[in-house]
Amino acid sequence: MKAIRFHEYGGPEVLRYEDAPEPAIAPHEVLVKVKACALNHLDLWCRKGMLGITVPLPHISGSDIAGEVTAVGSIVTRITPGQRVVVSPGVSCGQCIHCLSGRDTACRAYEIVGGYRIDGGYAEYVKVPEVNILPIPEGMSFEHAAAFPLTFLTAWNMLVNLAHIKRSDEVLVMGAGSGVGSAAIQIAKLFGARVIAAAGSDEKLDKAKGLGADHGINYTGQDLIAEVRRLTAKRGVDIIFENVGGAVFEKLILVLAIGGRLVTCGATAGHLAQTDIRYLFMRQASIMGGFMGPKSDLLRIVQEMTRGTLKPVVDRVFPLQDAAEAQRAMEDRRLFGKLVLVM
């Protein structure tokens, strides 16, 4: 089969479009003919070798996959060839105390399809366990189906499970143009919160408002902290949805309301920041980290997608061969929502 692989860590130039062996399925696995695969920052971290763990090489990235089932293993019962499916990206043992209590991301065997040791969807075929297969929401295209699992799952876990979002909350969504940011805006509105979107351009803010954001702050032209204070009458926000990191992170604590929660899932602008601990205890604030989310929440998200209350946001579609160009666009933040590769 054709696939995009890298044989060494480095820039987008290490990605090679080449022949790779077709995956052989185990009795509990399903073979999916990939129709669309969305990019994530995880793909860039893996390619750069920045995760602090060894990714066996050559490696095929791609965690958000939609396609058609072509073969099933001997003990697969629920899935049949020909079905249009979307892949749930988290793979875990299914037997430990964490998996059985619905906290599969805490499983010691937790992996992400395309992430570390499992080959992903930058290829014509991918294999995944049956338990990771979900039907595509009715009427949804492969491109749109590939554009929601990882980001919506991550954003849902951060806002609902960690920050306990509720109707009266004011939520600041940082990096509102990113995949997780555009998901967070929609989820926060679904729960009735008031959303302040922050992004680096007016064009992105207009799109954020199109998704339901109540206010927008352009952090290249405006003073982010002063604007949040003005919009909240100096009270601050209840939840900060963070995925940017760097210098802005330490300032954000200053605009947390009393009892505020800062949830983060990324550090695309830098991973070191200082914290003034006094602000944390004086404001009774919390800082929490989220990584993916429980498989069960993806079922809830699919339900909302079927109802049309949440929508995947696709910015652009690239042919598989142009994966390097797509990753460059992601690195330069030239996107709103998701970039998707099609076969």
CB of 97 to Zn ion, least distance (A): 8
Stretch that binds Zn ion, among 95-103, 138-146, 253-261, 292-300 (CB under 5 A): 95-103
Joined tokens for residue 339: 């970039």
Closest CB to Zn ion among 107 and 255? Answer: 107
| Amino acid identity, position 49 | G
Alpha carbon distance 336, 331 (integer Å): 13
Considering beta carbons, is residue 101 or 303 the nearer one to Zn ion? 101
Only segment of 44-52, 94-102, 130-138, 229-237 that touches Zn ion (CB under 5 A): 94-102
Phi, psi dihedrals of residue 156, rounded to the nearest 5°: -65, -45
Residue pointed to by tokens 């079922």: 299
Nearest residue (CB) to Zn ion, 144 versus 295: 295
Least distance (Å) between residue 107 CB and Zn ion? 3
Among 107, 187, 193, 256, indicate the residue that binds Zn ion (CB under 5 A): 107
For the chain, strand residue ranges (E) read 2-6, 15-19, 29-38, 64-72, 84-87, 90-91, 111-112, 125-129, 133-135, 170-173, 194-199, 215-218, 237-242, 256-264, 286-289, 314-319, 338-342
Residue nearest to Zn ion (CB): 107
Of 91 and 195, nearer to Zn ion (C-beta) is 91
Two structure tokens written together for 53: 């763990």
- In whole angstroms, the minimum distance from the beta carbon of 131 to Zn ion comes to 12
**What is the nearest approach in angstroms of Zn ion to the Cβ of residue 153?**
17
Give the nearer residue to Zn ion in terms of CB position, either 107 or 147.
107
Residue from the set 26, 57, 75, 93 that interacts with Zn ion by CB under 5 A: 93
Report how many helices (DSSP H) and strands (DSSP E) the chain contains, helices first. Answer: 11, 17
The answer to whether residue 99 forms part of the interface with Zn ion (CB under 5 A) is: yes
Token digits of residue 86 = 């979307």
Nearer to Zn ion, 161 or 268 (CB): 161
Q: Which stretch binds Zn ion (CB under 5 A): 41-49, 89-97, 186-194, 289-297?
A: 89-97
CA distance 13 to 59: 14
Residue-by-residue DSSP string for 318-340: EEGGGHHHHHHHHHTT--SSEEE
3-state secondary structure 162-200: HCCCCCCCEEEECCCCCHHHHHHHHHHHHCCCEEEEEEC
The verdict on 258 binding Zn ion (CB under 5 A) reads no
Nearer to Zn ion by C-beta: 99 or 136?
99
Give the footprint of Zn ion on this chain (CB under 5 A). 92-93, 96, 99, 107
